[in-house]
Structure 1
Amino acid sequence: MRPAAFRDIAHVGSVELFTSVPEETRDFFVDLMAMKEVHREGDSIYVHAWDDYERHTVKITGRDRAGVGRTFLRAASPEALRRRVAAIEEAGLGTGWSEAEFGLGPAYLFADPDGHEMGLYYETERYVATEEHRPSLKNQASAFPGRGANVRRLDHVNFLASDVPAASAFMSGTLGARATEQIVTDEGETAAIWYSVSDKSYDLVYTSDWLGARGRLHHVALATDTREDILRAADVFLEAGVHIETGPHKHAIQQTFFLYVWEPGGNRIELCNAGARLILAPDWEVITWTQAERAKGQAWGLKTIESFHTHGTPVID
């Protein structure tokens, strides 16, 4: 069932990653993922995926340890922005407006109940390709890179949460996202839940943090055009000495073809391709997966490896 405020958020705009080795993380995204560096400011490096219409896709910020910074969400209209800001303020989780974000107009800053920092905006600066990167087709943002992983856009962000039900209530009740799939334990507790703000099958995910910590990251996912891009990327990462955690394979939940690697700072990055799978039904019913079903592994039988349940950033000893 769609929340009343569904469609007030258009999509996930960009995400900030913390890393103790920002130059190495930058090289990972630029050299291996085929993204472009577009800006530097203070301790941050901004990179852009080739068909992202906005000014940047990932903000890389130097910190003493890895983790997720602020995730930005674009509102569908100025009116939608005002409605969601009012709802966030009513929830008591807003921190105020900022006009200091690169490539964005006024952005309302807030945090979810688990402490993940977020920002909501409408006005944005569109990416304009340089002559070197001008596309042959005028309906794409930049020239097709034809190298590395060829990531096209940001797909989703998966947060770890100490209290998944609280984060879930905020996502649906305050932001107006709709749940599409979930994992429920034998005790009836929601262990993970996938949310969509569009026709995509999911945009934001909350997974239970096995350490009970707050504000951590499970992974950031970037979308490729094809499965073949992911298969080639596995060889690219192999030759570059990048840690391949699991995959390539196909998820049972959401049916996403995937590859998980760790960028040099330690954050988990997913390359994903969901094909043409969209959620078009206005009365979609949430798909629930049990513990027994999840224990079977991924769609083609690959077992979920231990680190997928134990690694999150920042790392906690």
Structure 2
Amino acid sequence: MIKEPILDIAHLAHLEILTPKFEESRKFFIDVLGMTQSGEKGDSVYLRGWDDYERYSLKLTASKTSGLAHVAYRVRSPQALERRAAALKGSGFDVGWTDGDLGHGKTFVCKDPDDHTIELYYETEWYEAPADKKPALKNQAQRFPARGVNVRRLDHWNGLAVDIKANREFYEDYLGFRLTEQIVLDDGTEAAMWMTATNKSYDFAYTKDHTGTKGRFHHVTYALDSREEILRAADIFLENGVFIETGPHKHAIQQTFFLYVYEPGGNRVEVANAGARLILAPDWKPIRWTTAERAKGQAWGLKTIESFHTHGTPPVEVKNH
């Protein structure tokens, strides 16, 4: 008998990212990426892509270090929120209820096996564009900003994890995510996973943390409409003195056309044309990549840059054994 799927998660909603260079990071996301500030509270600003329907998709918070504070997913209904909370309570992963944050209501907080903090909520504030940002077409969230890279929407994020298998099982069993692709080493160890709660090919990915440190962050990804826009983004990063880590190029896994940079606080940011592949099959068979296949590099032969395996936030010292 086929196990009934859990369909309570609607989509990836937002991330809270920490930065030790708050003003520089804020200017990067607004002036270079082209995001819009839609709120401010305490040591945080709230930012959005021009077609994110919620008030924000990124909470940027001043901190002594870099990294991920939390990731949030919107659920499909108030009942779905209660179901996920009930499933998680007593699991050892549950943290408990909060009143929520700017722009969204009551929230259930939990942690995955790698200590990444996860928020689940339903009640949300849809973005209402002020007069100077109202679009010509009412089915668009906001006027096109015509500033910098002009990222459209939050697409996915990538975390670093010590135990990929344990995290995969957590997201499958408690939150209903589906595995779409994975890397499995020759000894059977799961080294990376790409998972989805939607018809997108992935909402997030986890790769193995070479330092053995739990809860670290690899990157956040914002979507652009075309490959040409990503090529233009490379020029915009160049003009603004932004370090380009790797790309533009095409991933073999998930076939995403990519470009990676570091924002001033040290966090990795990707812009990508990621919407072409959809997972429509309810019985999708996960694609498994081997050690030898990954050694070939990216889709067109570009070797994966070493820092892609070693750079994560917050930075940690690697002890020599």
Q: Which residue type is aligned with residue 218 of structure 1?
A: H
1:140 aligns with 2:101: no
The answer to whether the 8 A contact 1:220-1:269 is kept is: yes
The 5-angstrom pairing of residues 96-245 of structure 1 reads 96-245=96-245
Give the Cα–Cα distance (whole angstroms) in 2 for the partners of residues 136 and 223 of structure 1.
21
The answer to whether the 8 A contact 1:48-1:58 is kept is: yes
Give the Cα–Cα distance (whole angstroms) in 1 for the partners of residues 164 and 218 of structure 2.
13
Q: Which residue type is aligned with residue 18 of structure 1?
A: L
The answer to whether the 8 A contact 1:2-1:283 is kept is: no
Does the residue aligned with 1:158 lie in a helix, a strand or coil? strand
The answer to whether the 8 A contact 2:76-2:122 is kept is: yes
- Runs of 4+ displaced beyond 4 Å: none
Structure 1 partner of 2:292: 292
Q: How big is each residue's C-alpha offset from its partner over 1:95-134, in whole Å with a ceiling of 9 and x where there is no partner?
A: 1111140100101111111100110000101100000000
Label 1:101 to 1:5 Cα distance change in 2 as closer, same or farther (>3 A).
Answer: farther
Q: Which residue type is aligned with residue 185 of structure 2?
A: T
The answer to whether the 8 A contact 2:227-2:273 is kept is: yes
Count residues in correspondence: 317
User: Gaps spanning 5+ residues in structure 1: where?
Assistant: none
Label 1:97 to 1:2 Cα distance change in 2 as closer, same or farther (>3 A).
Answer: farther
Does the residue aligned with 1:255 lie in a helix, a strand or coil? coil
Give the Cα–Cα distance (whole angstroms) in 2 for the partners of residues 254 and 19 of structure 1.
29
Structure 2 partner of 1:304: 304
User: Gaps spanning 5+ residues in structure 2: where?
Assistant: none
TM superposition score normalised by structure 1: 0.98
1:28 aligns with 2:16: no
Label 1:100 to 1:287 Cα distance change in 2 as closer, same or farther (>3 A).
Answer: closer
Give the Cα–Cα distance (whole angstroms) in 1 for the partners of residues 197 and 248 of structure 2.
27
Give the Cα–Cα distance (whole angstroms) in 2 for the partners of residues 94 and 152 of structure 1.
33
1:272 aligns with 2:300: no
Identity score, percent: 57
Query: Shift of the alpha carbon at 1:38?
Result: 1.2
Return 268-277 or 256-265, whichever deviates more. Answer: 268-277
The answer to whether the 8 A contact 1:248-1:257 is kept is: yes
Q: What do you get for the CA RMSD once the two structures are aligned?
A: 1.3
Give the Cα–Cα distance (whole angstroms) in 1 for the partners of residues 4 and 286 of structure 2.
16
The answer to whether the 8 A contact 1:180-1:284 is kept is: yes
Give the Cα–Cα distance (whole angstroms) in 1 for the partners of residues 314 and 183 of structure 2.
24
Query: Shift of the alpha carbon at 1:180?
Result: 0.1
Label 1:3 to 1:31 Cα distance change in 2 as closer, same or farther (>3 A).
Answer: farther
Q: Which residue type is aligned with residue 39 of structure 1?
A: G
Q: Which residue type is aligned with residue 48 of structure 1?
A: R
Structure 2 partner of 1:44: 44
Structure 1 partner of 2:53: 53
